[in-house]
Structure 1
């Protein structure tokens, strides 16, 4: 990513998972710039209420995520753009959903559509991580490759599933991305969706054939996570899916 100093910092850094299964969830830590961050890992902890699809719902990974949001990401009607908007990189523009400025950057050429930053995140991966669906749709139409993986095998689908952005998950699945991609954080899109208690996202992934048997590094399957965390709606979705698979495998019974 280009070295800029935007008014709204966008930080997405990783740490190697160190906590054991069942350890309490890490509390927020403070970064040098003073913004609160939360480190979240893919293992059972105290059950949490179902969260809205927001930046704060990036649960279930070892990603360290800034809680500093733009006005528009907070849900405010008026978006206060930084005075130095022109200095933002294409990755920052994609993450913030600044579509008009993003288009201007792409028109300059230089094959920017799939350009990775220092972590291997493309503009599409950033937009997917922050739930910017119009930006995701635009980037896909302009030829962004949804199959590209970042340096630690993070994918646009995994990050969209982590945030519970079901519409973005659907757009990416239409492009035949690997639904069971396993990243070096120890999770698949389905595992991340379960860990985030994103019921509709879990439904969408299961409907498209997500593997229920893949385990996280902790040894937990999607159902194990749902049970351990007390996510009853997610459990119900998984149970219903298993029953459908069971009945479809039985097939019609032969007449006596």
Structure 2
């Protein structure tokens, strides 16, 4: 676990900021000892919106997945952190991705009884993903901006695993 992972897991905003300013840590580094969690996954799992915002401001990719396919959205839903879910939504993070078991963040929030998160994610799933998400993607495409929706490494791993089952 890197220093940045440790600081994010401990919700130590000052240390996260110090490490990011020094530019010695990659905010997108996956920790293989902890299931490929990034510092943003840790911040989301703690419901730490300020650390999550700081990581995003320094280039953390909200689409990256753990080895089980969890995005930061899944962790925020598990933690019941509506603030982190709203932050992720504000940067157009994918909040509707299935994990390796086929569960979306909304289902995780349901399992843990986080009603406000469920309502937010259902509204996102029905309205925002279709209307606002589509509009954002079209605008980005028109401007030649890449929409960072997928974790290519995880998608490739998923395809490799599927080949073994044929």
TM exceeding 0.5: yes
Residue-by-residue CA offset, 1:39-95 (whole Å, 9 max, x unaligned): xxxxxxxxxxxxxxxxxxxxxxxxxxxxxxxxxxxxxxxxxxxxxxxxxxxxxxxxx
Counterparts of 1:218 and 1:196 in 2: how far apart (Å)? 19
Q: What is the match of residue 79 of structure 2?
A: 196
**Aligned-pair CA distance for 1:185:** 4.1
More helix per residue: 2
> Hey, which of these two has a bigger chunk of strand by percent?
1
Q: Mapping of 1:82-97 within 5 angstroms? A: none
Q: After TM superposition, what 4+ stretches of structure 1 lie above 3 angstroms from structure 2?
A: 244-250
* Alpha-carbon distance in structure 1 between the residues aligned to 2:129 and 2:68: 29
Corresponding residue number in structure 2 for 1:150: 31
Match of 1:134 in 2: 14
User: Does structure 1 residue 222 correspond to structure 2 residue 102?
Assistant: no
Q: Which residue of 1 aligns with 2:157?
A: none
- Following superposition of structure 1 onto structure 2, how do residues 69-108 of structure 1 map, counting pairs within 5 Å? none
Cα separation, 1, equivalents of 2:43 and 2:93: 15
Structure 1 match to 2:63: 180
| 1:171 pairs with 2:54 | yes
Alignment partner of 1:212 is 2:95: yes
Secondary structure of 1:191 counterpart: helix
* TM-aligned CA deviation for residue 126 of structure 1: 0.4
Give 1:123's aligned residue: 3
Aligned to 1:70: none
Name the counterpart of 1:50.
none
The one of 43, 65, 68 equivalent to 1:160 is 43
Give the aligned partner of residue 119 of structure 2. 236
Pick closer, same or farther for the CA change 1:146–1:132 going to 2, 3 Å: same
Which whole-Å deviations, capped at 9, do the CAs of 1:200-248 have from their partners, x for residues lacking one? Answer: 1111112212213312233211112223333210012213334244444
State the TM-score, normalizing by the size of structure 1. 0.47
**TM-score, structure 2 as length reference:** 0.70
Gaps of 5+ in 2: 136-166
Give the unaligned 5+ runs of structure 1: 1-120, 251-256
Query: Secondary structure of the equivalent of 1:153?
Result: coil
Describe the superposition over 1:18-40 as per-residue Cα deviations: whole angstroms up to 9, x where unpaired: xxxxxxxxxxxxxxxxxxxxxxx
Give the Cα separation in 1 of the matches to 2:13 and 2:95. 27
Q: Take 2:31 and 2:114, find their aligned partners in 1: how far apart are those partners?
A: 30
What's the CA shift for 1:175?
1.8
